[in-house]
Structure 1
Amino acid sequence: MDRDNEFEYRRRWRLILGGGEADEIDRGESPCDGNGKGDRGADVELDPTDRIVDRAMESLYGSERYGGLGSSSPNLARWLGDIRTYFPTSTARILQQDAIDRLDLHHLLLEPEMLSAMEPDVRLAADLLSLDRVMPHTTKDTARKVIAEVVLALARQLTAPTTAAVRSARGRSIRNFRPRHGELDWQQTIRANLKYYQPEYRTIVPVARIGRTPSKSSLPEIILCIDGSGSMATSVVYASIFGAVLASIDSIDTYLVGFDTSIVDFTDRLQDPIEVLFGMQLGGGTDIDGALVYCQGLIRTPHQTILVLISDLYEGGDPELMLRRVAQLTEMGVQVVVLLALNDEGAPDFDRQNAQRISDLGIPVFACTPDRFPDLMGAALNGQNLDRWIDRQDG
């Protein structure tokens, strides 16, 4: 190993392990050391930038629980500024979320000065929404601006693929083997009948006629039924944005219903997902059956209705009533889909017994990441077998 590479190797281990006692940790075998002996980084002299980075990491992940952050506003502001300056945006978001979770610094979300220094992301937006009831009036304007920034960024990212998937599904025609003259697909018909070409007459006998019949003209209905319990916070953010995007597509009718122990229909507010989010009032109990009863009353054409229940299935009421309601909706012809989460945070926590019993009814039950939701809606609108669709995603 040349001198430059050796210094970089030691520098990285020094930043990973920290200073002081942490430097003693790598006396054992290092994954980067082929001779079986650890390599020490304690003798590495950090430059001024690395020292700032090191202090920021030590404050959060040091041996003392509260590190160097404490509860001092100047310290917090300086730390937030440092991580935004010296770390990539994605890493800064992870660090600030770890600070909130590990050091129980939720109070910094209630101070406008602290909040304005943070890097906006969907987790931060979800935390702010969950604190809405206890948030001081002076902080709410700042919180709304942060949430608006997150919503606008996500909307820009999600609108195009969602619109494309839905419009493609709605614009697709149905193959028809007994077409009327105006529905005849000449190109497909000629290709299918090439084997019946008659050389002496220099013509094709159209034994098989293939046409395209436009898909049903009545608008399908999509009902997003969103669990507003605290554990579903990031899913609520994504679902509200998708609801607004779907509502902007004129070839479908979209409804959005939020619930805990009460039920709120946000359909008339879908043009403003920020208003939906602040009206959701995250937290409280869960009455899934009550929400499904309300959604059932919205259905006009069951066989053209897709009901997406976004919930961890921890039912606060009677689970048996919820299960019977889900079965009833399916028997009506409604296409029910249960999303245990709509986020990219990994495996969700959910009621496994309720999930299994709903799955036993033949209803897809799974967690979905935001990037796959547009394709999911396209597949559902096309009448595809969603179990096979899920298998393809897993594959």
Structure 2
Amino acid sequence: MDEDRERLRRWRLVLGGADDGTETSLSKEDRGVDAALAALYDSPEVDEEGEPGRRAGGLGGSAPRVARWLGDIRRYFPSSVVQVMQRDAVERLGLTRLLLEPELLSAVEPDVHLVGTLLTLGDVIPEHTKQTAREVVGRVVAQLERRLAERTRSAVRGALDRATRTNRPRPPDIDWIRTIRANLKHYSPTLGTVIPDRLIGYGRRAQTVHRDVILAVDQSGSMAESVVYAGLFATVLASMRSLRTSLVVFDTEVVDLTELLDDPLDVLFGTQLGGGTDINRALAYCQGLVTRPADTLLILITDLFEGGARDQMLRRAHALADSGVQIVVLLALADSGTPAYDHENAAVLHELGIPAFACTPDLFPDLMAAAIKREDLSHWAATRPAQ
């Protein structure tokens, strides 16, 4: 009986309105939940002028009502649900003012999508809100760094170590665990020890750059989430002395943000989301950065919808790969799943030996490690394929 009542209660909240057919009354708290949902989901989307249409409920036109609603949803729902409802409020009701007033912006639950929206707004954000926006973005970046930065450094260091393994190491550079494992067949019962026939260790590379990494990131509006994650990973990779990291962002223009890689916030606010896409122009710029093709890894993050010279773009990608540059195309660097992308361009690049697939941020450290070791990345394309 209690299960039936709970089921009806949930249906009442899902359907909304008193005439929903459940004939179920709500408690005072549930009426608050219902009102918060109704303000958003019982409302039509924005009209042609971008203003919310007429509705029985809704958030109205006043900042105090929006602020109360933000407080209500944080009270009634977990953080993950709050983030979804905030995105829906911006998209369905055109409430960009959520992000244009410091009082409201400070009440918003920050996440990657919010950061992407703030970057999209760019110069539209008023001066008196920019500091609050920077603080909100900073909170998200700090969360992402705690989640991803050390994993990335660890994976890349391990890959670089394995890539420089040698059978003639100096004594301080011997990898004793792998050496013992490789020489177990030479165990001497008489001496009670392993007699190493082959030493395994690491080459000296403490002050040398072992790989050049170029991240070229499409900053068209559809790539917002990927831009946020790519900016963070670029700053992490740039902190490693064994890598020479460059960050290039592009739409129809190309901007080199490498000098900003000391600060992820400077990187993100240096992007300008929106506009068209000229991948060919971006690849031409990246060609100019390549000085050691065999030691260069180019990660091109784009949905491959080329607005420039498609044939030139494909020929340029082919030329880079033929010169020895290792190219990986990420159709998205995001948690949101397989993206929309240009299937034809992805197929042609695949024929050229250039893999194209989507990648989640949590998998990116392992992807970097595999690429540095020059492993076959076909299994990555199989797990998150360009279908």
**Considering the TM-score relative to the shorter chain, is it more than 0.5?**
yes
| Cross-structure match for 1:317 | 308
Alignment match of 2:293 (pick from 288, 302, 322): 302
Please state how far the C-alpha of 1:331 moved relative to its aligned partner: 0.5
Amino acid at match of 1:325: R
Tell whether the 8 Å contact from 2:301 to 2:332 is kept in structure 1 after alignment: yes
CA 1:175–1:72 in structure 2 vs 1: closer, same or farther (change >3 Å)?
closer
| Cross-structure match for 1:369 | 360
CA 1:73–1:327 in structure 2 vs 1: closer, same or farther (change >3 Å)?
same
Tell whether the 8 Å contact from 1:175 to 1:211 is kept in structure 2 after alignment: no
Amino acid at match of 2:38: E
Alignment match of 2:33 (pick from 50, 53, 69): 53
| Cross-structure match for 2:4 | 6
Q: Does 1:385 align with 2:376?
A: yes
Alignment match of 1:190 (pick from 183, 186, 189): 183
Equivalents in 1 of 2:62, 2:339: separation in Å? 34
CA 1:359–1:184 in structure 2 vs 1: closer, same or farther (change >3 Å)?
closer
Please state how far the C-alpha of 1:364 moved relative to its aligned partner: 1.0
Deviations 1:178-197 (A, max 9, x none): x5896797524532456xx8
Please state how far the C-alpha of 1:332 moved relative to its aligned partner: 0.8
Please state how far the C-alpha of 1:281 moved relative to its aligned partner: 1.3
Which secondary structure does the structure 1 equivalent of 2:308 belong to? coil
| Cross-structure match for 2:200 | 212
Q: Does 1:94 align with 2:84?
A: yes
Deviations 1:100-147 (A, max 9, x none): 112222233222222122111110110011011222222222211111
Gaps in structure 1 of 5+ consecutive residues: 25-39
Amino acid at match of 1:331: D
Equivalents in 1 of 2:262, 2:221: separation in Å? 24
TM-score (structure 2 length as normaliser): 0.87
Please state how far the C-alpha of 1:227 moved relative to its aligned partner: 0.8
Equivalents in 2 of 1:102, 1:202: separation in Å? 77
Tell whether the 8 Å contact from 1:226 to 1:310 is kept in structure 2 after alignment: yes
Q: Does 1:141 align with 2:131?
A: yes
CA 1:16–1:181 in structure 2 vs 1: closer, same or farther (change >3 Å)?
closer
Please state how far the C-alpha of 1:63 moved relative to its aligned partner: 5.8
Greater shift in the superposed pair: 93-102 or 208-217: 208-217
Equivalents in 2 of 1:381, 1:205: separation in Å? 32
Q: Does 1:326 align with 2:314?
A: no
| Cross-structure match for 1:113 | 103
Which secondary structure does the structure 1 equivalent of 2:217 belong to? strand
Deviations 1:287-317 (A, max 9, x none): 2111111111112211111100011111121
Equivalents in 1 of 2:346, 2:337: separation in Å? 17
CA 1:147–1:96 in structure 2 vs 1: closer, same or farther (change >3 Å)?
same
Tell whether the 8 Å contact from 2:329 to 2:355 is kept in structure 1 after alignment: yes
| Cross-structure match for 1:27 | none
Equivalents in 2 of 1:53, 1:164: separation in Å? 44
| Cross-structure match for 2:224 | 233
CA 1:75–1:222 in structure 2 vs 1: closer, same or farther (change >3 Å)?
same
CA 1:175–1:153 in structure 2 vs 1: closer, same or farther (change >3 Å)?
closer
Equivalents in 2 of 1:204, 1:107: separation in Å? 73
Equivalents in 1 of 2:345, 2:14: separation in Å? 43
| Cross-structure match for 1:250 | 241
Please state how far the C-alpha of 1:367 moved relative to its aligned partner: 0.7
CA 1:17–1:211 in structure 2 vs 1: closer, same or farther (change >3 Å)?
same
Equivalents in 2 of 1:319, 1:251: separation in Å? 34
Greater shift in the superposed pair: 62-71 or 332-341: 62-71
Amino acid at match of 2:304: L
Tell whether the 8 Å contact from 2:220 to 2:273 is kept in structure 1 after alignment: yes
Which secondary structure does the structure 2 equivalent of 1:256 belong to? strand
Equivalents in 1 of 2:265, 2:204: separation in Å? 33
Deviations 1:199-233 (A, max 9, x none): 9x999999x94332535844211111111111111
Which secondary structure does the structure 2 equivalent of 1:78 belong to? helix
| Cross-structure match for 2:17 | 19
Equivalents in 2 of 1:45, 1:156: separation in Å? 45
CA 1:242–1:190 in structure 2 vs 1: closer, same or farther (change >3 Å)?
closer
Equivalents in 2 of 1:237, 1:173: separation in Å? 29
Tell whether the 8 Å contact from 2:163 to 2:373 is kept in structure 1 after alignment: no
Residues 353-368 of structure 1 mapped to structure 2, 5 A cutoff: 353-368=344-359
TM-score (structure 1 length as normaliser): 0.86
RMSD between aligned residues: 2.6
Greater shift in the superposed pair: 106-115 or 127-136: 106-115
Gaps in structure 2 of 5+ consecutive residues: 46-54
Q: Quick one: percent identity of the two aligned structures?
A: 49
Deviations 1:252-294 (A, max 9, x none): 1111111112211111110111111111111122221111111
Please state how far the C-alpha of 1:70 moved relative to its aligned partner: 3.0
Please state how far the C-alpha of 1:346 moved relative to its aligned partner: 2.0
Please state how far the C-alpha of 1:168 moved relative to its aligned partner: 1.0
Equivalents in 1 of 2:125, 2:3: separation in Å? 50
